[in-house]
Amino acid sequence: LDEVYLELNVPLLSDVAFAKELTFNAATRYSDYSNFGDTLNSKFGLTWRPLEDLLVRATYAEGFRAPTISDLYGGLSSSFEDYIDPCGVGAPNSVNGNAACTNAGVPLGYTQLGQGFVPCTTYPCQTPDEF
């Protein structure tokens, strides 16, 4: 990651009627990332103080967030959390679903291997029977 930053504050008016202070500010940042490219982001603003006890600010800025490793290389979804296996043990009882599973050769109560969760609290991992 290579970056360059530049900021500029320019006083425009000072101690005149209805402008105790008027300042223009600008900033820009150039960032060059090795794994996805570069970006240039800027900010422009005015600070106006018409009276000693009143300050008005106006700002326009562009924001940028560098992508994380998951954003760059991760899949769209880590799992099928909303998927319910119609032939699984926890599936709602459905006459049509059970008949379709039986016709497809899947026995009632079938559980696909690898769908269980084994908690791991120590190394080596313990199976549920060892708790």
Tens digit of each residue's pLDDT (9 = 90 or more) over 54-79: 999 999 999 888 888 877 776 665 55
> Is-contact 13 19, C-beta < 8 A?
yes
Closest CA to 52 of 13, 18, 12, 9: 18
Structure tokens at 121: 């609290």
Express each pLDDT in 3-46 by its tens digit.
Answer: 999 999 999 999 999 899 999 999 999 999 888 889 999 999 99
Q: pTM for the full model? A: 0.51
Residue with more model confidence, 71 or 48: 48
